Amino acid sequence: SSIFAAVEMAPRDPILGLNESFNADTRSTKVNLGVGVYFDDNGKIPLLAAVKAAEEARLKAAPPRGYQPIEGSPAYNQAVQNLLLGKDSALIANGQVITAQALGGTGALKIGADYLKRLSPNAKVYISDPSWENHRALFESAGFVVENYPYYDAATRGVNFAGMKACLNSLEAGSIIILHACCHNPTGADLSDAQWQEVVDVCRARGLVPFLDMAYQGFADGIDADAVAVRAFSASGLQFFVSSSFSKSFSLYGERVGALSVITASKEEAGRVLSQVKRVIRTNYSNPPIHGGALVAAVLSSPELRQMWETELAGMRDRIRAMRTGLVEAIKAQGVAQDFSFVVQQRGMFSYTGLTAAQVERMKDEFGIYAVSTGRICLAALNTKNLEYVAKAIAAVTK
Ligand code: PLP
């Protein structure tokens, strides 16, 4: 019989599975608020003008397609460090930071996880409750035991910071803490600058290993403002990991553009750490693809293209904000008594709406509006054409 005869069907990915159901829905009014992708007001994934210009220049230059270094393009890695730490960072000048181009933010987390498993095989990994659904799976598949730390407080729709801090304070030295650097996915609830400083202090006091996941830099308040957590850690003298993703901020989802950065204690240490990270990469996919990283590096290193990109990024950020305000007003206009104004306070692409799984189910069945069963919606999938319709549906299921 077949060697696959006893293979069981794996469960569907909760969010990508939602896409499949959405695509099969024949209603013309259907809306997909499930997936974490930025759409423009016409419901299209934008090709940023800065990216298009960089791509045209690259096609014209027609460069050869040799292998990249194992850690990817030096120009790209330098640009990533500047975005994260600021171009005047002493850590960069000292050579304490290593960066490896990776296959999206997911690829960066996976390289980091595999390397950490070699570095600290017995450490436990802690993720926020709740977190991006792939965090747990990713670190478990690297061989770690993964636990939650308290994060979201449904009563205040904010962060249960006392609970989070108490938990971090109780962890064993060497525990690995995954932190959302900004625009927390799925809740939209972020820490304040002062709270970040407290987290830094706890990590120092307890000897924890921070791993910051930066998937939405520029989507809350701006490039530097959204790096506040990274900057607080970089000023602390601690060692830490950062995964970067440019899927959203450059609208380059399918090109898989990300990076793993590790902040070490010295240049000499950085050299040794990089040599080990390269080993992980070499045995996974050898070296990263060229194209997406080359576009990001070109945009970030040209003053004109960088300015263009920052303007386009601000446009995406402002449009999401406008959708937050618009949704709250439209729900109110439907005569819903419940106060949804918290949606305006949440940051990034997502909102934990407080809609129950049953309400989400009704939105799908009665309106063809798809959301995650936890009540998470993606604000970046709203536009001036579907906003009213979504507000009507939320009113219908919550009244
Ligand atoms: N981390 C978080 C918190 C995310 O929300 C995402 C994407 O949704 C990622 C990482 C992965 O990003 P990428 O698509 O670049 O792999």
Lowest pLDDT segment from 9-18, 190-199, 320-329, 339-348:
9-18
pLDDT exceeds cutoff 90 at 13: no
Contact 295, 54 (CB under 8 A): yes
Mind listing the pLDDT tens digit for each residue in 281-306?
Answer: 999 999 999 999 999 999 999 999 99
CB of 68 closer than 6 angstroms to any ligand 1 atom = no
> What is the Rg, in whole angstroms, of the alpha carbon atoms belonging to the chain?
21
Q: How far is the CA of 106 from the centre of ligand 1 (A)?
A: 6
What is the model's pLDDT at position 279?
98
- Single-letter amino acid, residue 81: Q
| φ and ψ at residue 241, rounded to 5 degrees | -115, 150
pLDDT exceeds cutoff 90 at 11: no
- Dist. CA 280–CA 283, nearest whole Å: 6
CB of 247 closer than 6 angstroms to any ligand 1 atom = yes
Q: Could you tell me the pLDDT band of residue 12, with boundaries at 50, 70 and 90?
A: confident
Mind listing the pLDDT tens digit for each residue in 35-46?
Answer: 899 999 999 999
Q: How far is the CA of 378 from the centre of ligand 1 (A)?
A: 14
- Dist. CA 203–CA 174, nearest whole Å: 10
pLDDT exceeds cutoff 80 at 27: yes
pLDDT exceeds cutoff 80 at 99: yes
**Mean pLDDT for the chain?**
96
What is the model's pLDDT at position 16?
78
Q: Is 132 a catalytic residue?
A: yes
Strand, coil or helix: 246: coil
* Burial of 366: CB neighbours in 10 Å, binned 0-12, 13-18, 19+: exposed
User: Which numbered atom of ligand 1 lies nearest the CA of 246?
Assistant: 15
DSSP 367: I
Q: Could you tell me the pLDDT band of residue 245, with boundaries at 50, 70 and 90?
A: very high
Report the pLDDT averaged over residues 380-384. Answer: 97
DSSP annotation string for 253-304? GGG-EEEEEEE-SSHHHHHHHHHHHHHHHHTTTSS--SHHHHHHHHHHHSHH
Residue nearest to atom 1 of ligand 1 (CA): 215
What is the model's pLDDT at position 15?
80
| Single pTM value for the model | 0.96
What is the model's pLDDT at position 154?
92
Mind listing the pLDDT tens digit for each residue in 113-152?
Answer: 999 999 999 999 999 999 999 999 999 999 999 999 999 9
- Dist. CA 334–CA 395, nearest whole Å: 6
Closest CA to 89 of 100, 75, 79: 79
What is the model's pLDDT at position 14?
77
Report the pLDDT averaged over residues 57-78. Answer: 97
What is the model's pLDDT at position 38?
97
Residue nearest to atom 2 of ligand 1 (CA): 215
- Dist. CA 250–CA 82, nearest whole Å: 16
- Dist. CA 178–CA 326, nearest whole Å: 33
User: Which numbered atom of ligand 1 lies nearest the CA of 247?
Assistant: 15
Pocket test for ligand 1, best of 13, 106, 243 (most atoms within 8 A of CB): 106
Contact 362, 394 (CB under 8 A): no
What is the model's pLDDT at position 399?
82
